[in-house]
Amino acid sequence: MGSQPFEALANSYRRQLLLALFDANPQDDDDIDPLDLLANEETTDDLAATRVELTHLHLPKLVEMGFIEWDRESGELSKGPNWSGIAPLLKLMHEHRDELPDDWLSGLARNL
């Protein structure tokens, strides 16, 4: 698996998707508001573009890495077969969320 966990966590969208799944499994991807995945100081005029980026880049990448499973028809997200390869990093991030830079967890409730 090598550097895949770090590659998955390097992007804020993917990091936040994975942290959202850390506590909730399965989860409907319709519950993921693209605005919630943007840093607090960011805004977007094109939510459709953000949704496209999530559905055509970030979710497929996490599926390819095996960290999530995603049923495109039902929209259900769940932990994938390689979840155990990233779970320890997510646990550390979750347990130390108050020590992480704000932009690492922007858009997520601090009480995951």
The CATH number for 77's domain is: 1.10.10
User: Domain span at residue 8?
Assistant: 4-104
Residue 110 lies in a domain: no
User: Model pTM?
Assistant: 0.73
Distance CA 51, CA 63 (A): 16
| pLDDT > 90? residue 76 | no
Residue 55 lies in a domain: yes
Residue 109 lies in a domain: no
| pLDDT > 50? residue 109 | no
Residue 100 lies in a domain: yes
| pLDDT > 50? residue 79 | yes
Exposure string of 2-23, with b = 16+ CB inside 10 Å and e = fewer, is eebbeebbeebbbbbbbbbbbe
Domain total in the chain: 1
In this prediction, residue 40 has a pLDDT band, given cuts at 50, 70 and 90, of very low
